C-alpha cells in the first residue's frame, strides 16, 4: 500500500482534481466569503464616486488565459458601477482584451438598461503600453481619437468633456501583467495624481502590496478571491464565488495528497 502511494500515477491525481473542480461548480456550492480591507477600500471609493456623480476609467489589461480570474472581477465592478449610475469609460492596453471587455460591458450594461455613449463608452485597444498612459495624461484624444467603432470622442455625450486622466474621478486597472506597477503607477498615478486602484491575478498580488502601503493604490482585488469578495460586497454571487468553491476544493485535494505523500515517504524510510 505504501509503495503504491509512493508510485501513484499522476493521472489519478488529475482525476481527483478534475472532480474536485467540476463537482462544486455543477452543484452550485457556495462557501462563506468575508471581504478584506483592500477590497472594501475599492468598494468605498466607488461609493464616493457615485455620490459625486463621477466618471470611472476602467482599463482592461488581460487576455483569455487569465479571463477565468479577471472576467468575474470586471463583471462585479461593472455591476457595482452600473447599479449606482456611475459612468464608465473603458480602454484596453492588451490586444486580446477588447473581446472580453466588450462582452462584459454589453452584458452588464444590458442588465441595468444602460445606454452606450451616455452611460458608458468603449474606446478599444491601443498599443504602446506606458506611452498610452502618458499620452492620456496629456490629452485623451491623442491616444484615443475615436471609440472602438470609429466614432469620434466629441460625438459621444459621455466623452465630449473629458480631456485628460485628471478628469476621471477614479481609475481602475484590471491587470494580468505588469501594467499596474510599470505603466499606471509611474506614468499615470504618480505623474498626474488621480485616485487609482487595481485588480490582478492571485500570483501578482504580493508584488503590489508595497503600492498599497505607499498610498499609490487605494485598494486591490487579488485574484478570484478578490473578485468573490467584491461580489459579496455588491450582493450578487456570480462566477467568482462559484469558482472559489472549486478552487478551495482543488487546494484541499492537493493538501491531502501532499500529506499522504509525506506520510508514505516517512513510513517507507522506517521500514
Partner 1 sequence: MTRDTYVFIGLVLLFAAINGVLLASGTLTADWNGFGIIVAAGLTLALYSFLYKDNPLFKFAENIFVGVAAAYVFGQYWYQTIYGEIFVRLKALGGEDSVSGDWWLLAPTLLGLLMLTRFSRRFGWLSRLSFPEPSLRLYSPK
Based on CB atoms, which residue is closest to partner 1, 11 or 37? 11
* 146 forms part of the interface with partner 1 (CB under 8 A): yes
- Please report the sign of the dihedral spanned by the C-alpha atoms of residue 41, residue 53, residue 158, residue 120: positive
Task: Looking at residues 164 to 203 of the shown chain, list those that interact with partner 1 (rule: CB under 8 A).
Answer: none
| 246 conformational bin, left if phi > 0, alpha if psi -120 to 50, beta if neither | alpha
Contacts of 248 (CB under 8 A, 6+ apart): 24, 31
Contacts of 262 (CB under 8 A, 6+ apart): none
Cβ at position 16, least distance to partner 1 in Å: 12
Cβ at position 61, least distance to partner 1 in Å: 14
Based on CB atoms, which residue is closest to partner 1, 15 or 267? 15
Distance, CA of 20 to CA of 252 (rounded, Å): 9
- What character string, x for contact with partner 1 (CB under 8 A) and - otherwise, covers 38-67? --------------------------x---
Instruction: Sheet containing 120-125: give its strands across.
Output: 120-125, 87-92, 55-61, 170-175, 196-200, 220-222
Based on CB atoms, which residue is closest to partner 1, 26 or 263? 26
Based on CB atoms, which residue is closest to partner 1, 120 or 125? 125
- The site that binds partner 1 (CB under 8 A) totals a number of residues, namely 15
Based on CB atoms, which residue is closest to partner 1, 83 or 257? 257
Task: Looking at residues 115 to 144 of the shown chain, list those that interact with partner 1 (rule: CB under 8 A).
Answer: 124-127
Cβ at position 18, least distance to partner 1 in Å: 8
* 9 forms part of the interface with partner 1 (CB under 8 A): no
Q: By C-alpha distance, which of 204, 114, 123, 222 is closest to 168?
A: 123
Transcribe 31-51 into DSSP letters. Answer: ------HHHHHHHHHHHHHHH
Based on CB atoms, which residue is closest to partner 1, 67 or 234? 67
Cβ at position 95, least distance to partner 1 in Å: 4
Based on CB atoms, which residue is closest to partner 1, 45 or 71? 71
Phi, psi of 197 (to 5 degrees): -150, 170
Phi, psi of 115 (to 5 degrees): -105, 135
| Of 150, 206, 215, 235, the one binding partner 1 by CB under 8 A | 150
Task: Looking at residues 64 to 103 of the shown chain, list those that interact with partner 1 (rule: CB under 8 A).
Answer: 64, 95-96, 98-99
Distance, CA of 179 to CA of 138 (rounded, Å): 19
- Please report the sign of the dihedral spanned by the C-alpha atoms of residue 98, residue 101, residue 107, residue 110: negative
Cβ at position 148, least distance to partner 1 in Å: 8
Residue ranges binding partner 1 (CB under 8 A): 11, 14, 64, 95-96, 98-99, 124-127, 145-146, 148, 150
Amino acid at each position: 500500500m505504501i509503495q503504491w502511494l509512493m508510485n501513484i500515477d499522476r493521472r489519478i491525481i488529475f482525476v481527483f482534481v478534475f472532480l474536485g473542480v467540476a463537482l462544486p461548480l455543477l452543484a452550485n456550492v457556495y462557501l462563506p466569503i468575508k471581504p478584506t480591507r483592500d477590497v472594501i477600500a475599492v468598494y468605498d471609493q466607488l461609493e464616493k464616486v457615485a455620490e459625486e456623480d463621477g466618471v470611472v476609467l476602467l482599463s482592461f489589461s488581460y487576455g483569455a488565459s487569465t479571463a477565468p480570474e479577471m472576467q468575474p472581477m470586471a463583471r462585479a465592478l461593472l455591476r457595482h458601477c452600473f447599479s449606482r449610475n456611475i459612468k464608465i469609460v473603458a480602454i484596453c492596453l492588451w490586444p486580446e482584451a477588447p473581446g472580453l471587455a466588450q462582452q462584459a460591458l454589453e452584458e452588464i450594461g444590458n442588465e441595468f438598461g444602460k445606454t452606450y455613449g451616455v452611460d458608458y463608452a468603449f474606446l478599444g485597444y491601443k498599443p504602446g503600453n506606458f506611452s498610452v498612459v502618458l499620452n492620456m495624461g496629456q490629452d485623451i484624444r491623442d491616444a484615443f481619437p475615436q471609440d472602438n467603432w470609429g466614432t469620434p470622442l466629441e460625438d459621444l455625450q459621455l466623452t465630449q468633456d473629458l480631456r485628460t486622466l485628471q478628469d476621471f474621478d477614479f481609475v481602475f486597472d484590471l491587470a494580468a501583467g505588469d501594467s499596474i506597477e510599470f505603466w499606471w503607477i509611474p506614468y499615470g498615478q504618480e505623474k498626474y495624481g488621480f485616485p487609482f486602484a487595481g485588480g490582478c491575478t492571485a500570483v501578482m498580488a504580493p508584488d503590489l502590496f508595497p503600492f498599497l502601503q505607499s498610498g499609490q493604490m487605494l485598494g486591490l482585488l487579488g485574484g478570484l478571491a478578490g473578485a468573490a469578495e467584491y461580489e459579496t460586497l455588491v450582493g450578487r454571487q456570480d462566477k467568482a464565488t462559484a469558482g472559489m468553491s472549486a478552487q478551495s476544493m482543488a487546494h484541499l485535494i492537493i493538501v491531502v495528497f501532499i500529506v499522504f505523500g509525506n506520510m508514505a515517504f516517512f513510513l517507507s524510510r522506517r521500514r
